Structure 1
Amino acid sequence: MANETLIREFMQRIWNEKKLEDIPKYLAPEYTIHLDNADPWEGKTLKHDEFATRLHHTFGPFPDVHFDIKTAISDGNVVAITWIMTGTNTGQIGEWPATNRKIEAQGMTFYHILDGKIAGHTQAYDRTSIMKQLGFI
């Protein structure tokens, strides 16, 4: 499978369709978050079950979270995507109650591929804009 196809399928099946049972199909046994500002897992290497736990931290507050890939560029063992994330906050975020507000954020992720599987990412997006849209700041 081409690296770009791998990432597009991963984003659709895992993030958009929430088919967590497919995590081993897409992820290497160890997944490293190289850089992802304000992500509690930044700098950590996760196994499949830990990656699923990380996803639940997003799906709980935003069960309808959806990523629309705008661009994808593959270069060797890296695939860079730009995306628009949308969702509705119907679950608690830490100490903050659900707001039932819709959010939209743009970002970019560089996925690192190893032996045909995703082995980690480097990511940038403005989480502050989400907190503003939710009325928390």
Structure 2
Amino acid sequence: MTNETLVREFMQRIWNEKNQKDIPKYIAPEYTIHLDNADPWEGKMLSHDEFAIRLQHTFDPFPDVYFDIKTAVSDGNIVAITWIMTGTNTGKIGEWPATNKKIEAHGMTFYHIKDGKIAGHTQVYDRTSIMRQLGFI
């Protein structure tokens, strides 16, 4: 499997289809978030269980979250993707109540591949635009 195929399958199976039991198939035992502005796990190394908890922080408020990959570029052990994330806020975000509003955010993620698994990411997207779309700011 190519690194790009690995990332595309991961995005589909884990993020879009919510198959958390497949985390070990795609994610290295130690997953590092190198840079992800405003992510509470930024700079941390996550186990498979911790990665699943991180996913739930997105799935709980946005159970229909979906990532549409627009481009993918593979260079050695890095796969860069651009994406559009959509979803409907039907659950609380921290102390903020569900709004039932739809969101759309654009971003890019650089996935770091090691020994055939995704070992971390560097990511940029505007979380402020989501809070604005939900009416929180």
TM-score range (shorter-chain normalised) is: over 0.9
Measured in 2, the distance between the counterparts of 1:52 and 1:128 equals 24
Measured in 2, the distance between the counterparts of 1:120 and 1:36 equals 11
Per-residue deviation, 1:31: 0.1
Corresponding letter in the other structure for 2:41 = W
Q: Tell me which residue corresponds to 2:5.
A: 5
SS in 2 for 1:5: helix
SS in 2 for 1:13: helix
Measured in 1, the distance between the counterparts of 2:113 and 2:63 equals 27
Measured in 1, the distance between the counterparts of 2:13 and 2:116 equals 17
Measured in 2, the distance between the counterparts of 1:101 and 1:38 equals 21
TM-score (normalised: structure 1): 1.00
SS in 1 for 2:94: coil
Measured in 2, the distance between the counterparts of 1:93 and 1:116 equals 34
SS in 1 for 2:136: coil
Q: Tell me which residue corresponds to 1:18.
A: 18
Where in structure 2 are the equivalents of 1:113-124 lying within 5 Å? Answer: 113-124=113-124
Q: 1:81 and 2:84 equivalent?
A: no
Q: Tell me which residue corresponds to 1:72.
A: 72
User: What are structure 1's unaligned runs of at least 5 residues?
Assistant: none
Corresponding letter in the other structure for 2:2 = A
Corresponding letter in the other structure for 2:72 = A
SS in 1 for 2:29: strand
Per-residue deviation, 1:46: 0.1
Per-residue deviation, 1:104: 0.1
SS in 1 for 2:82: strand
Corresponding letter in the other structure for 1:134 = L
TM-score (normalised: structure 2): 1.00
**Structure 1 moving runs of 4+ over 4 Å:** none
Corresponding letter in the other structure for 2:104 = E
Corresponding letter in the other structure for 2:42 = E
Per-residue deviation, 1:89: 0.1
User: What are structure 2's unaligned runs of at least 5 residues?
Assistant: none
Where in structure 2 are the equivalents of 1:1-137 lying within 5 Å? Answer: 1-137=1-137
Question: Aligned residues: percent identity?
Answer: 85
Measured in 2, the distance between the counterparts of 1:20 and 1:6 equals 15
